[in-house]
Amino acid sequence: MLDIIEGSPNDFTVFRQQAPVASDIRITLGENMPPNAIAERKTGNSLIPLSIPTEYTGVCTDSVFDDTQQWWTVHRNGTMMLRSDTKELQFTASELN
């Protein structure tokens, strides 16, 4: 899309007729901030117990214009054992082999 925008950050022109879309063009003015991910462990301490559930909760935020999707993965020695597409993760380590 940069080929339809000409100029500098303080003085630019959008050539709408050259846009390859038939809908709105969204332009965000301002510095782009990186996404922010925060996770909190709700149970346990610094070690993951084998036989009782461990629970995490998390929030991921990005630009107000984006629909941020959050997911969790649990790995053991580089092998993914569990994936969850929810805001909270609960698992028992012994049940993951």
**Model-level pTM greater than 0.75?**
no
Instruction: Give phi and psi for 95, each to the nearest 5.
Output: -85, -5
pLDDT digits 0-9 by tens, 25-50: 777 777 777 888 999 999 877 888 89
List the one residue out of 97, 71, 70 whose CA is nearest residue 84.
71
Which range marks the domain in which residue 91 is found?
Answer: 2-96
H-helix or E-strand containing 55?
strand 54-61
Q: Is 16 helix (H, G, I), strand (E, B) or coil?
A: helix
Percentage of the chain exceeding pLDDT 70: 96
Per the structure, the count of domains in the chain is 1
